[in-house]
Amino acid sequence: MLAPATSEPSTGLATLPDAWQEIGALHALAYQDVLLLMSCREAHLTENWQAVIVRCKLEEACASGTFASVEELLCFLIRAHVEPHVDLGGLGAVVMEMALRDEARVRPEEAGCVRLSRVLAVKLDHQLCVQSERL
């Protein structure tokens, strides 16, 4: 379970490598959020069907309240290298629904998902910009 970012000791992020500290600070992530991201391997999404499978798994995990699975999938998507032609549009609604929640008002195990969803929302926005430039 993750606690809200405000309950983290201020020295937590300072113990991480500089690049990870910057990511944590930029996105207001908790120490545990950054550790989850660091532990997730990078992957490549090269086909639309891969994005559809991940989106379906994310929807199922959100619907069932399996927040550990939601965190894993969010970290996977954040760390994934996505080819510009891969359509991530279906993920937007799922991610934004989670990202727009008030992390102070959700259960502690859900707060990390809210923060990670916000990071992924930024990435999806960037991916949309890249796709628009290619048109």
By three-state DSSP, how is residue 47 classified?
A: coil
Residues 6+ apart with CB under 8 A from 34: 13, 16, 20, 23, 24
Q: Are strands 44-45 and 81-82 parallel, antiparallel or unpaired?
A: parallel
Angle at 67 between CA 2 and CA 46, to 5 degrees: 115
- Confidence bin at 135 (pLDDT 50/70/90): low
Note the pTM of the prediction, 2 decimals. Answer: 0.86
- How distant, in Å, are the alpha carbons of 2, 91, 116 from that of 50? 28, 12, 20
Question: Average pLDDT, stretch 85-100?
Answer: 91
> Rounded to an integer, what distance in angstroms lies between the CA atom of residue 43 and that of residue 61?
20
